[in-house]
Amino acid sequence: MGRMSELQIEQGERCETALNILIAAGVLARCPMHEECTFIENDDVTAAYKLAMHQWGHGEHREFESARKLTDKIKEVWDEHGVWECQHPAHGPD
């Protein structure tokens, strides 16, 4: 596997970690009908930052070079996934 592929896999894993933190903190939820979709459960993203820092303090998420890189990734994923309802095409327009 080439170095570029390895970097893409690492990037995907970091995004998945951030997404899982947002879900565990109750900020995002998975759509019960479309597991690949998420939506806002509670828009207080600070809960995710607090959870991430607690976990970081206990030695988790060391795939990130620093706690700052972890919180930056949470912000990035929040910006991408922070919608109020499932965006799956099967829902269609209202």
For the stretch 23-63, pLDDT in tens is 999 999 888 887 778 887 888 899 999 999 999 999 999 99
DSSP state for residue 44 in the 8-state scheme: -
Query: For the domain with range 3-85, which CATH number is right: 3.20.20.150, 2.60.40.10, 1.10.10.1920, 3.30.230.10?
Result: 1.10.10.1920
Question: Residue ranges per domain, the chain?
Answer: 3-85
Collect all residues with Cβ–Cβ distance below 8 Å to 81 and sequence separation of at least 6.
19, 22, 28, 38, 39
**pTM, entire model:** 0.84
